[in-house]
Chain A
C-alpha cells in the first residue's frame, strides 16, 4: 500500500480499502523505522493523526475534499507551518514556530492532506547534498537498497555499509528521501538552482520545478527570491500533475504570481510523439558528465527519435557562464534576505549584550553555519557600490542572455529540451564532503540552475540505475507556463523507461500488502 502512487492510494481511500488513520499510522511507523535516513527534522505525529481523523470523518460522511484528502505528505523545513517548528536546518531558527502557514501548505491542508512532518535540508537550502544542516546529513534510501548492495561490492560488512551510504543530493534531500522510502506519497521541496530536481534524480523520484510565478512563494523562507519556486516530489509524473493542480495559481500574498487562474489538468497518454521536437542542448555536455550519464542521455534521445519525434541538437551558447552568474545573483540575494535574522524579532539571540551591534554580530555568528556566512559575505561584496556594476549588473545582463537563449531555441520550433539532471549518480557521503559546499554546488547545479535563471519549468524523471545500482534521472525543460506539455512528454518517457522500484527491507516489513505499481523492468 505504501508503495502505491498518490492517485492509487487516493482511489483506495475513496473505495474504503484503507482508512486515512491507518494510512497515516503506517507512514508514521515507517518514518520511525527509517529514522536513520534522517529525512525528517520534525515528525508532527499528533497533528497528523488529528488531520487523518478529520479526513476519516469526511470519508465516512461521503464528503472528502478531493483527491488529496487523507493523503500523507511531507514538507521541506523551509516552508512555514503554523504550530509546527520551521527550522531551515539552522541554529538561527531552531525552535521557531511560525504563526502562519505558507500558501502552499495552507492549500494542501485545505484539500485534506495530512502533514506528517518537516523534511531535512541544507541550512537555509544552501547546498546540493543535504549534508550541511544542523541536524546532520540525509542518507539516500538507495544506499540501503538491494540493488545498491548487490552492486557496490561483494560482502558488505556493517562498517562498509556505514561508510558506503550515498547522499541524497540537495537541498531538498529530506523530501526526496521521504518520497523514495515510501514514508509519504508526495513532498514539497524548493528549487532555486536545482534543489528539487537534483535530489529527485539521486533518489529515483520525480522532481518538478514549475515556472516561476505559477506557485506562490508566500511562506517559503527565501534563498533567492527571483529564482525560488516551490518544488514537487512524487513517485510518478501523474502525481506531480495532481500536486501542481492543487497548488498553482494566483496568490494575492505573492505579487510575482500569475494573475490568471490556473486550470488543473490530467495527463493523457501520448500516443504519437511524431509532432514533437526535442532539443538536445550541446552545452549540457558539460565537463564532468559521466560517460554512463552521457550514454543514457543519448539513449533517451534515440528513444524519442525511434518513436518518430524530431530530435535536434540545439545550442544555448551562454550556458557556460550561467553557474558563475547564478552564484553572484544568489549570494547577493542571500546577503539581503538573511539581513532580517538579527535576533531581535525571532529566532536565535546571543547573550552578548555589549551593544546592539555586538548582539547582531554574535547572534549571526552563532546562528548561521559557514556556508551561509560565506554566501552573505560574498553577496555583500558584490553589492558594494564599487562592485555593483562589475558583478551584480553584469550577472543580471548575462542572466537575460541565458533566458534569451531559451527563448530563441523554443522559437525555432523546439518543444522540450532534454538534458541530464546531474553529472553522475550520487556520491558516497565520505567522498562528497571532501570538497566544500561552494565547489559541490557549482558542480551539482550546473545542469539545473539555468532553468531557474530563465524561470522555466523543468522536471527530472528517474530513468535508470547506474552501474553502482543508484538512480539517475534526465531533465526535461519546457516553455514558460507550458507545464501540461512538459508533463505529458515526461509521462510518455516515464512509461518507456520503466524505472525499477527500490527494494528496501524496511519497507517490505511495513508494507506486506504489496501493491504492485510498477513492474521492475529496467530501462538499461
Chain B
C-alpha cells in the first residue's frame, strides 16, 4: 500500500541536536463500547455507573448451561462503523473464544472475533494543524486493519488494605468494537487527531458514545522506533490512556524514551507500559502471568454471523432475521468530513473553523441555527461563535447545550448589531449581560443600559466638536500628517458616548471637521 508507506515515513523525529534521525511507527488498538440498550450476548441492560452487579444476567455471570445470543443492534453498529471507515464487510464472520483466567472474566474466556472479524481493510482520514497558529491543516490517512466484535470484561476493584478483590460484572459482556489501526502514524499528535476523528465518526453514527472519561473509548498505542535502513524496532504497548490529550503525551514520551534508550546503547523490550498521567511518563506494567497463550478456539454456541447485501438477500427471509449491508449503507448519516466540507462550501467559512465547529458537540448546529435567524453574514457570525460563545463556554467548562445564551437570543443580538442599532462594543456589553442568564432579551438590556447607537447626528457632531476643542495637541499632530492620532480621538468620542456611537460615522465627522 503506497499511500500508507509514505504516511508512515512522514516524519522522522529528531531528538535533540546530537541525535540521529529515527523512523517512528505508531499503531493503535481502540476499544469502543457499542451504544446499545443491552449487552452483546445477553439481555442485560447497559448503563454507566449503575449500582455494582445490578446489570448481570445468568449468562453474564457465566452460570453453567447458559448460552450466548447475539444482539442484532451490536452487529448493526459494527457494520455502520465498518462502512464509515471504508472497510469491506465480511458477509460471513466467526466468533472465537480467547482464554485467560481473571476475576472479572467469569467464563474464563472472552468471546471475540479472532479468525474472521466483521470488517477488514478500511481507512480513516484525519487532519491536523502543522503550525502553532492552527491555520495550516494537512490531511493524512491511516489504514484500518479490522474491526471485531467482542465482549467487555467486568471490573475488579482491589482493596489492598483488606487484601480483597471486589468484582463488578455490570460491564461484563457489554459489546465492544475493537478497531485496529495499522502503524501508519508517527507521533502523538497524529494519533490524537486520528482518534479524535474516529470519536467524531462514532458519535455521528451513534454506534458508540465514545466518551473516553467513561471508558467508552479505550486506546492502546503500539510504538516502535528504528534507524532508517535498519530492521523495524521492537514495539512496546502503552495502555491506561484515558484522554486524547494524554494519548499524545504518552506516545511522544514513549517515542523519546525509546530513542534515548537506543542512543544510550540500550535495548527496547517487547513489553506493556502504563501511562502515568501525573508523572507524564510511561512505566512498565507488572506483567500478570508472563507470556499468555490464549488458546483460541471457535465459539461453538454461535453459528457463523451471516450478513447480506441487496444481491445476496434471500427473497423469502424474514427482515427481522437478516442484516442487509446495503440498507445500512444507504442510511448512513453525513460523516464529519462531509459535514465540514458542506459548512465551508455553504457558509464560506475557513476549513479550520469547520473543524472547530464539529469538535464541540452541538456547536455546528448552534452556528447554523444562528445563521438561519440573522441577516448577518455567516463569515461574521462564525467570529461570534468561536471567539465569544466558545471561549466563554470553555472558560466556564460548559457544553454547547448548557450555554446560557440560546441560538435564538444570540441571533437576536446579532440582528441588532447588523441593523446598526448598537455598536459592536455595545453588543459585547449586552452579551456579557446575557451570560448571566437572567432571561432578559438583548433589546431589554440595550434599553436598560441605554446602549442604542446615537441616531441624532447633531448631538454626535457636538460631541465631536467638544473632543476636538479639548485636544489641541492631538489635532495639531493630525494636521502635521500623523493620521494615527485620529484613532485616539475616535476612541475619546466612543468613551463619551459610552460606546453608543457608530465609529465609522464618528471618523467621517472628525475628518470633515479637521479638514475644514
Contacts and interface: CB of A to CB of B under 8 A. Distances in A.
A222 B65 contact: yes
Interface stretch (A338-346, A367-375, A482-490): A338-346
Contacts of A225: 300-301
A178 interface: no
Interface stretch (A181-189, A270-278, A380-388): A380-388
B126 interface: no
Given A218-B66, A254-B67, A99 B58 contact: yes
A356 B295 contact: no
B101 A342 contact: yes
B63 interface: yes
Interface string B290-303: 00010111001111
A515 interface: no
Interface stretch (A108-116, A328-336, A460-468): A328-336
Given A255-B70, A336-B297, A383-B296, A102 B65 contact: yes
Contact of A80 (B64, B108, B295, B303): B64
A295 B301 CA distance: 41
A98 B167 CA distance: 21
B107 interface: yes
Contacts of A93: 64
A19 B299 CA distance: 47
A100 B58 contact: yes
A392 interface: yes
B69 A344 contact: no
Given A332-B297, A344-B103, A339 B109 contact: yes
Given A340-B108, A342-B108, A392-B297, A357 B65 contact: no
B498 interface: no
A339 B296 contact: no
B99 A336 contact: yes
A312 B107 CA distance: 48
B19 interface: no
Nearest to B156: A356
Contacts of B108: 336, 338-340, 342
A388 B101 CA distance: 19
A226 interface: yes
A340 B64 contact: yes
A253 B301 CA distance: 10
A219 interface: yes
A226 B304 CA distance: 13
Centre residue among B70, B296, B300 by max chain A CB count within 10 A: B300
A43 interface: no
Given A80-B64, A218-B66, A255 B303 contact: yes
A99 B65 CA distance: 11
A356 B165 contact: yes
Contacts of A256: 300-303
A255 B68 CA distance: 7
B243 interface: no
Contact of B63 (A99, A252, A338): A99
Interface in B54-100: 58, 61-70, 97, 99
B106 interface: yes
Contact of A345 (B63, B68, B165, B303): B63
Interface residues of A, number: 45
A221 B63 CA distance: 9
Interface string A236-260: 0000000000000000111110010
Contact of B301 (A79, A86, A255): A255
Contacts of B107: 339-340
A253 B57 CA distance: 13
Contacts of B99: 336, 339, 383
B58 A253 contact: no
Contacts of B62: 340, 345
A253 B67 contact: yes
B300 A226 contact: yes
A453 interface: no
Given A100-B58, A219-B65, A333 B101 contact: no
Nearest to B60: A345
A474 interface: no
A388 B301 CA distance: 20
B109 A333 contact: no
Given A336-B109, A342-B101, A255 B67 contact: yes
Nearest to B68: A255
Contacts of A349: none
B301 A80 contact: no
Interface string B28-70: 0000000000000000000000000000001001111111111
Nearest to B64: A221
B346 to A, nearest CB: 48
Contacts of B63: 80, 98-100, 345-346
Nearest to A92: B64
A360 interface: yes
B167 A344 contact: yes
A51 B70 CA distance: 35
Closest 8 CB pairs of A and B: A339-B108, A383-B295, A225-B300, A226-B300, A221-B64, A340-B62, A219-B65, A340-B107
15 contacts: A93-B64, A100-B63, A226-B300, A336-B108, A338-B108, A339-B99, A339-B109, A341-B64, A342-B108, A345-B62, A346-B64, A356-B103, A383-B99, A383-B297, A385-B295
Interface of B: 58, 61-70, 97, 99, 101, 103, 106-109, 165, 167, 289, 293, 295-297, 300-303, 321
Interface of A: 79-80, 86, 88, 93, 98-100, 102, 217-222, 224-226, 252-256, 259, 332-333, 335-336, 338-342, 344-346, 356-357, 360, 380, 383-385, 388, 392
Given A344-B167, A345-B62, A383-B296, 5 more contacts: A225-B301, A336-B97, A336-B295, A340-B108, A345-B63
